[in-house]
Structure 1
Amino acid sequence: MANPIYARLQATAQRLIAKYGQAGTVKRITPPDPVYGGDPVVTSYPATLVPMAYEASYIDGTVILSGDMQIYISSVGLSIEPTVGDVVTANGNDYAIVAGDPNKYDGVTPVVFIVQGRITS
């Protein structure tokens, strides 16, 4: 059962991301059918997000690389849960999601999606 406190936290996160963030997209790439083949299908989902560079103390050169971005994505109005393999467009760049945290404290309500994005080449 959803706890009302998390719905309020979700609304607060949405307000802050809308105020300080930007419009972006989360692109999900569906691979071709293994039997029939075909082309991969890219589906774009509009999102409101805040990309932020990691502080130097977090960059270790293995898990978090220089140039990686911590991206806060509003869960309000987003019909998918961003996951590893998706691509986030922010600041005019494409970032592949290499790690993510849905922040579902009660297991039901996603307060905010926080993902680690690595620039695609």
Structure 2
Amino acid sequence: MANPIYARLQGTAQRLIAKYGQAGTVKRLTPPDPVYGGEPVVTSYSVTLVPMAYEARYIDGTTIRSGDMQIYISAVGLTIEPTVGDVVTANGTDYAIVAGDPNKFDGVTAVVFIVQGRQ
């Protein structure tokens, strides 16, 4: 059962991302049918996001590399859950998602999606 506090937190996150963020896209590549083949299909989803560079103290060269971005994506109105393998476009640059956290504190309501993007 969804906890109402998380719906309020989701609304707060959405307002802050809308105020300080920008428009972007999440692109998901659907592989071709394994039996019939065909071309992979790219589906784009419009999102509101805030890209931020990692602080130098978090960059270790393996898990988090120089140039990686921490991207906060509003969960409100998003029909998919951004995951590893998707591509996020922010600041006119494509970032492949290499790690992500849906922030589902109650297991149901996604407050905000925080992903690690790499060029």
Give 1:71's aligned residue.
Answer: 71
| Structure 2: stretches of 5+ with no match in the other structure | none
| Structure 1: stretches of 5+ with no match in the other structure | none
- Could you state the TM-score of these two structures normalised by the residue count of structure 1? 0.97
Alignment of 1:4-43 (within 5 A): 4-43=4-43
| Distance in structure 1 (CA, Å) of the matches to 2:80 and 2:3 | 21
RMSD of the TM alignment (CA)?
Answer: 0.5
For these two proteins, the number of residue pairs brought into alignment is 119
Q: Deviations over 1:18-74 (max 9, x none)?
A: 000000000100011122111110000000000000000000000000000000000
| Distance in structure 2 (CA, Å) of the matches to 1:35 and 1:6 | 42
SS for the counterpart of 2:37 is coil
- Could you state the TM-score of these two structures normalised by the residue count of structure 2? 0.99
User: Runs (4+) of structure 1 moved beyond 6 Å?
Assistant: none
Give percent identity, aligned residues only. 88
| Distance in structure 1 (CA, Å) of the matches to 2:85 and 2:100 | 10
| Distance in structure 2 (CA, Å) of the matches to 1:93 and 1:69 | 11
| Distance in structure 2 (CA, Å) of the matches to 1:77 and 1:101 | 18
| Distance in structure 1 (CA, Å) of the matches to 2:33 and 2:67 | 34
